[in-house]
Amino acid sequence: PYHRKQLDEVVQEDHEGEEREYCDLVCPNSHTVFISYIDQGHRACFNYITYQIEKRAEERYLWRSGKCLNSTVNYRIGCKFDDPFDTQFKSDNEILAHLRARARRA
């Protein structure tokens, strides 16, 4: 069964019997999103197994599962755009308006 629960900026979902948390990476209109670095002092998080970037519609999310959910991890995320970001959104208010409109659709 599919279960979804919204927690502020994080969405919890059941994925094939496993709990996952999804965090919006906020890279609007990007063509590529990637993890450039992961800092952890343990071995609870493994790429493709307990964390990964997933594309849904035109947005990208980082999900974590298993022991990685309860671990303190720092990620460096990169976004690449066809057009310079500051030509897409002229001000912070424009990007915030875009994000608010997107949140209302969800």
pLDDT score, position 6: 47
pLDDT score, position 4: 47
Number of domains in the chain: 1
Run of H or E including 30 = strand 30-39
pLDDT score, position 1: 36
pLDDT score, position 40: 81
pLDDT score, position 19: 94
* Residue 68 structural domain: 4-105
Q: Output b/e per residue, 55-67; b: 16+ Cβ within 10 A.
A: eeeebbbbbbbbe
pLDDT score, position 103: 72
What stretches in the chain show pLDDT beneath 70? 1-9, 106
What are φ and ψ of residue 45, in 5° steps?
A: -115, 125
